Amino acid sequence: MDRLIVAAGALLGGSAVTLGAFGAHALEGAFTPEQAGWWEMAVHYQMWHALGLLFVGALPLARMRLPAWCLGLGAAIFSGTLYLMALGLPRWLGAVTPLGGALMIAGWMILAWSALRRRDPDSRR
């Protein structure tokens, strides 16, 4: 288990709950439907990737830091730009959002590759 990755996942998850509650209560009525959608999407993707980091941190595989970095940084960029746009910052931030999405996708693909390449000493393959 990689404690740093698990801790990062827990922090990402806890902040997703906090931001979700903040958006639902403190910002209630302050958003247009489009802004509310951005906020909700940001919270969902952040939470799913927090759970992904917890999963990656618990895996008994070597070299999990790269997929963890991709998942965590990708979630921060993707969700962060959506949060900022929902709060009224410039919409050009939407051009940065796909970079976060690409990092999240890369994290999952690297994780898959790492799992398939694992050499189990008890395996005949």
119 pLDDT band, cuts 50/70/90, is low
Of all residues in the chain, what percent carry a pLDDT higher than 90? 76
Burial of 31 per CB tally in 10 Å (0-12, 13-18, 19+): middle
- pTM value? 0.87
Tell me: pLDDT of 88 over 70.
yes
Residues with Cβ within 8 Å of 13's Cβ and at least 6 positions away in sequence, in order, are 47, 50, 51, 54
Residue 120's pLDDT is what?
53
Instruction: Name the one residue in this structure whose structure tokens are 């799913």.
Output: 48
Beta strands in 46-121 (DSSP E): none
Residue 118's pLDDT is what?
62
Tell me: pLDDT of 125 over 60.
no
